[in-house]
Chain A
């Protein structure tokens, strides 16, 4: 099938590593209204370059997930601007956002969100067609170390394995952006480290811009930069001169 591109963002061929990928200006998200109004994001500003690995760190309710959802086109901002390259995501229609997600973004969620009635292989195959030059599902699964579990259903996999299937599914379409919301949140440390390892390997292999939400301060050392969140704002941005490898992590 020919994927019709919605107007408003560029094709894969125009992509260049090193250029600016995201620009946020005064990004704000308000839930509810009146007495029960909650400012989940409050005037957030940042820039992220292609190939960067950014860790978002902060307590629950500080706005990390809200930001990630808006960046991934899963939710709409209340005000402010968010640019993906030259395209202003905050003005895109639902349909255009669908194409943006389909072609540019890979997601990894805390609770895997695998389709329980499909095998590991099939869960990955679910997305590979959406991209023009996807990885073969088996290759994507090999990249996260699951080459031996292609035919297993989610219920037959451990939590870590399920999360690695989710990573394989996210990277299989060679996304430009990989958005991970607490990918290790439901996992023990040993399994969590394996998952981070898989994530970094895949991200490096495909030179993907990666954003990673975590509660876990230990993980920040794998990032190029760390955004610290508090009360819906980015309170501080720290840059790591040297990144540690996943294998060196402990928590």
Chain B
């Protein structure tokens, strides 16, 4: 047996050598599937664990609340709320910054540091330098990203307008914080590290600047395990209410956490949608390809049987072959997937400013990818071997009996006479093995589909940008105010240099409820006839808001289970904190957050307040932006200015890092898989038809004429596969869109014709490349050898 094993194994090794381009192509298909799984699950888990470790080590709080001014003595009562593990009060204030050589107004969120230096909750992670000395009046520590964006280092200074007074502050250190992993300034949708800073300042200095000695304006709470967050929030609200407290909220509504959660959610959705599709597609493809490859060995299998080898030994030999291919693919896929995973984790880690990265060990992912690939490969081989060993060896050793050909169409149609001879051969060739033709076309269609689903995100993002920035929020910039102002202030804004038009924005925090489903939202009040920022309904048409009633995100309506005409309950979380019932008047198509919009005067009536505003949308004369910057910096009520262009650029940049990176990698893997399947289909067709082609050459066909028969088959299968591929691709994209949808962001279901074209173009390119490789083989066909070897 020793010799036998070595002989069959020798054959095995030589087969690998002989078939290396195909072995490589199949291995790449497997590698693509495995890599996509290892990459996405690995990077998701790494980021998830990194975040968890970061939160844990730096004691990220569970509940947050802000208040106008509450006495520090209240902290004891807060700490005694059942379920509270730790409570820490602090001062937090927004203020405009003035940085040398930076014209745009930047905003700083000032956070007080306790006398002892480091806080007990939301502990900053010191990157460079040191904490400010507790007694100092002008020392600050700034967020690392902001310092980097401006090239600021310890020792540098900048100005801030604290409570209306300009102060020069000196940086002594830079830090990261789990509280602002995603640091979004007032009025912004995206982090902008140049224009928004977290600034830590000793409590004494900040308290004296704002006259908050012995008082606090923000409190963070760490909960005990098993504590009820809702109960703690209720009690906290009750304690803070007399002091002008805004409604407390948990991590779910904490901006940075929510955005990070959403980012990871999208990664998780992608990792649980695309890789399984890839893996299933590759499993199908390798099954298909390997069964055809083994079927080509029909005569040798017959010979082994004639020589006295048992079915087990023969099956074992071919299974070893496919295992070899699969193991090679799995190894390449695992290594590539791990490498890509580390790369992606690194990119995300840098984007999110994690102080460290934890790489998750995910043996199960490798095992899953390997097991599925191996099973598919073995099943493919088995399918072919079973059919062949069922034949008596005498039959197996002979070439398969000539199949029965038929006319393509009934005689009276007589298309046969219209079609050219090669076309006829090709069509009959396809028709005589309908199952194989269908399977091959299915394989090519699936390759098209996975390309489409990979490319889909780019289309979706473009549509999202189009609707959001060019149809709905058309303002050039938004000014945020430090606090609520009378609506008349917009007249002042309109007179600022460069401002062409200004519209007030009123935002009221609220809980919206239907039955027992409740969400925290911000209700936007819009003045009648506002034209800069518009409401776009689900038909992408601008909506005129009714005088009463609420327009809510279609997604929110879905969550609440309400439709136009139904009523919802609102807990207004500001002012008198009334609970009111309002009808839903329209559904809004939006992709960011969940929101509710109503007429500004209706909102003022609900709030029982004079018309007020928290900010203004403006349109700008671009030539005068610098004057506007200067004017805003001198405006004490202004907390910041968000430029639409900058927001859009930041949005694209952030997407480029998150979604686009992944989509790009997936597209690459899909292209490799697509090439693998097309190449193998062509290559195997050549092997299956080598004799036929050689016979044609012997009969006097030129190389090109012989080649054309083979190419026609490829062309027909590839083209026929495209429309179903588009359909399946659209279906897969729809699944992905549904899974990517979240309360913070959704992507629209839109597919550009160009996407179908690109996907098909990649497949066709793969087909052309395969054809070129195979053409060289046809040219090199040894006519005599092919014809003389069998009867």
Q: Chain A residues in contact with chain B, CB under 8 A?
A: 1, 65, 69, 72, 74-76, 94-95, 98-99, 101-103, 105, 107, 109-111, 113, 115, 117-118, 122, 125-130, 155, 159, 169, 186
Contacts and interface: CB of A to CB of B under 8 A. Distances in A.
A118 B8 CA distance: 9
Contacts of A126: 4, 7-8, 307
B7 A111 contact: no
A95 B389 CA distance: 11
A18 B358 CA distance: 81
B11 A118 contact: yes
Nearest to A173: B308
Given A98-B308, A115-B303, A155-B785, A129 B1 contact: yes
A102 B307 contact: yes
B353 interface: no
A98 B311 contact: yes
Interface string B1-35: 11110111011001101100000000000000000
Interface string B737-772: 000000000000000000000000000000000000
A127 B394 contact: no
B395 interface: yes
Nearest to A123: B7
Given A125-B7, A130-B4, A101 B394 contact: no
Contact of A69 (B4, B17, B311, B392): B392
Contacts of B7: 118, 122, 125-126, 129
Contact of A115 (B300, B311, B395): B300
Contacts of B305: 74, 98, 101
B650 to A, nearest CB: 60
Interface string B299-335: 1100101111111000000000000000000000000
A130 B313 CA distance: 12
A244 B79 CA distance: 115
B790 to A, nearest CB: 5
Contacts of A110: 791
Chain B interface, >50% SS class: helix
Interface string B772-791: 00000000000001001111
Nearest to A66: B394
A129 B788 contact: no
Contacts of A95: 310
8 contacts: A1-B1, A74-B393, A101-B307, A109-B397, A115-B303, A122-B7, A129-B2, A130-B307
Contacts of A169: 307
Nearest to B3: A129
A118 B10 contact: yes
A169 B8 CA distance: 15
Contacts of A115: 11, 300, 303
A105 B307 CA distance: 8
Contacts of A113: 299, 303, 306, 397
B395 A75 contact: yes
B315 to A, nearest CB: 13
Interface string B390-409: 00111101000000000000
Contact of B3 (A101, A128, A155): A128
B310 A111 contact: no
Given A109-B397, A115-B300, A118-B10, A98 B310 contact: yes
Given A111-B791, A122-B7, A129-B4, A117 B15 contact: yes
A122 B692 CA distance: 30
A122 B10 contact: yes
A69 B394 contact: yes
A187 to B, nearest CB: 11
A74 B785 CA distance: 26
A101 B785 contact: no
Interface residues of B, number: 33
A130 B305 CA distance: 12
A159 B308 contact: no
Contacts of A128: 3
Given A98-B309, A115-B300, A76 B392 contact: yes
Interface in B290-305: 299-300, 303, 305
A99 B300 CA distance: 18
A103 B308 contact: yes
A80 B281 CA distance: 51
B790 A74 contact: no
B3 A111 contact: no
A108 to B, nearest CB: 11
A202 B4 CA distance: 23
A129 B790 CA distance: 27
Nearest to B397: A113
Nearest to B300: A115
Contacts of A186: 788
Contacts of A101: 305-308, 393
A41 to B, nearest CB: 13
B306 A111 contact: no
Sorted nearest first, the 10 A-B pairs with minimum C-beta distance are: A102-B308, A117-B14, A1-B1, A74-B394, A69-B394, A129-B4, A101-B308, A75-B394, A74-B393, A75-B392
Contacts of B17: 117
Contacts of A159: 788
A155 B4 CA distance: 22
B657 to A, nearest CB: 50
A74 B392 contact: yes
Given A98-B311, A109-B397, A110-B791, A74 B306 contact: yes
Most buried by B among A76, A98, A111: A98
A69 B306 CA distance: 9
A115 B18 CA distance: 13
Interface in B675-730: none
A127 B15 contact: no
A102 B309 contact: yes
Contacts of B308: 98-99, 101-103, 105, 127, 130
B318 to A, nearest CB: 13
B301 to A, nearest CB: 11
B3 A117 contact: no
A185 to B, nearest CB: 9
Nearest to A99: B308
Contact of A118 (B14, B309, B393): B14
Given A107-B307, A118-B14, A159-B788, 8 more contacts: A74-B397, A98-B308, A101-B306, A111-B789, A117-B10, A125-B7, A129-B4, A130-B308
B702 to A, nearest CB: 26
Q: Which of A69, A117, A155 lies at the interface centre, i.e. has the most chain B CB atoms within 10 A of its CB?
A: A117
A72 B785 CA distance: 28
Nearest to A2: B1
B790 A72 contact: no
A107 B310 contact: no
Contacts of A74: 305-306, 392-394, 397
Residue with the greatest number of chain A CB neighbours at <10 A, chosen from B6, B10, B307: B307
Contacts of A125: 3-4, 6-7
A111 B303 CA distance: 11
B11 A117 contact: yes
Contacts of B6: 125
Contacts of B395: 75
Nearest to A130: B308
A123 B82 CA distance: 83
Contacts of B791: 110-111
Contacts of A94: 311
Contacts of A1: 1
